[in-house]
Amino acid sequence: MNLSNTLIIWYKKFARELPWKSDRDPYKIWVSEIILQQTRVEQAKDYYLRFISHFPSVESLANAPLDHLLRLWQGLGYYSRARNMHVAAKQIVAEYHGDFPRSVQALSLLKGVGPYTAAAIASFAFDYPVVAIDGNAFRIFSRLFAESCPIDSSGAHNLFSGLAQQCMMDTPSSLFNQAIMDFGSLVCKPQPLCMECPMNVQCIAFAQNRVQEFPVKRFKKKPRDRFFYYLHITSKDSGKECTYIQQRHQRDIWQNLYQFPLIETEAPVSVGELPNLPQWHTIFEEETPLVLGYAPKYLHRLTHQVIHTFFVRIEMEKESEWLHTHCKEIDASSLDRYGVSRLMERYLLDEEIKYLPLWHANSLE
């Protein structure tokens, strides 16, 4: 029995039930594929349903304010996905009158749509005969063929697409690609269930007892350390508590999201040293804020960065000119209306914070 037949027999018995699977609408397929990037399936399901409820069509997404989209995306991370979706939705409306292009080449011209996503949309929506090569496919075919080409090398996509295309044969691409995704998630996982695999007799890596050697990756770069000191400033204005936020506009992590005023340093400093830094004096100028304390360090890990973060609680009677010019003063109770990073969200939802006094920080990093 060939590989494709074996795979499809397994799939018809064990296929996962997911809210986007039975849909042929290219818009909904696109939404699901973008959300699934860097996101676990269980988490993706709720976000997908909420997203489609808020933006049922590509036109509704194109016409939505970016802030609304980013707020809905909060907690998923990798916010460039949401920004790219917004741009791509506008492309589809402006250039294709709201209809998705049908070819892989045209789909690849949409903002944020790479080779895999273009192939997935073309396959699942239009049954275009193309294999969608994602992490699951790389893992499965590298093991089946004991292929040692690093999957993050320049020629990997073409090589593994060719191997997968050979296996697909005359199977409808939508069926084959769905089966590959489920098989990679349920059986041929990073820690594989080889004894339950219906293709283990055809798997070269299994026969050679080398399954854990695949897929091969090149040397991974060490994550960069960054040091963030957020200033959670509050003041009383007309009897209500206000705070200050600013929007990140630079081309960096969390672009367009909101945050407290930030001091970033190249090397770690103790929280107690912050008032001695030039950035502190730039923010507060001649004002002398009341520093209430700081929250113990939060570590936030991204793909290529580790963010070491302290949140410093501050009260002010009078705002500085810098805060007036560079920040937005808002009612503290309305913070949840703004899209913030997962790191900020963790802090805001942390009900067990015990703020440490600033003098306690002088011996800490």
Give pLDDT, residue 238.
61
Q: Judge whether 294 and 313 are in contact, CB under 8 Å.
A: yes
Q: Judge whether 74 and 343 are in contact, CB under 8 Å.
A: no
- Residue-wise pLDDT tens digits, 232-289: 999 986 678 999 999 999 889 999 999 999 999 999 999 999 999 999 999 999 888 9
Q: Which fold has domain 3-213?
A: Endonuclease III; domain 1 (1.10.340)
∠ CA 274-278-284, nearest 5°, is 75
Length of the chain in residues, anyone? 365
- Residue-wise pLDDT tens digits, 63-85: 999 999 999 999 998 999 999 99
Give pLDDT, residue 81.
96
Tell me which of 127 and 220 has the higher pLDDT: 127
> Which residues belong to the active site?
33
Cis peptide bond prior to 115, omega within 30° of 0? no
Phi, psi values for residue 29, rounded to 5°: -65, -45
For residue 319 the two structure tokens come to 């705002």
Architecture of domain 224-363: Alpha-Beta Complex (3.90)
Phi, psi values for residue 342, rounded to 5°: -60, -35
Q: What is the DSSP string of 200-259?
A: GGG-HHHHTT-GGG-S--PPPPPPEEEEEEEEEEEEEETTEEEEEEEE--SSSTTTT-EE
Domain segments of the chain: what residues? 3-213, 224-363
- Residue-wise pLDDT tens digits, 206-238: 999 999 999 999 877 889 999 999 999 999 866
Buried b (16+ CB within 10 A) or exposed e, 177-190: bbbbbbbbebbbee
**Mean pLDDT in residue range 165-194:** 96
Hey, is 270 helix, strand or coil?
Answer: coil
Q: How far apart are CA 130 and CA 172, in angstroms?
A: 9
**Mean pLDDT in residue range 34-48:** 94
Give pLDDT, residue 318.
86
Distance, CA of 47 to chain centre: 12
Contacts of 126 (CB under 8 A, 6+ apart): 26, 102
Give pLDDT, residue 362.
53
Query: Alpha carbon of 145 to those of 113, 137, 163, 193: distances in Å?
Result: 28, 12, 8, 17
Give pLDDT, residue 363.
44
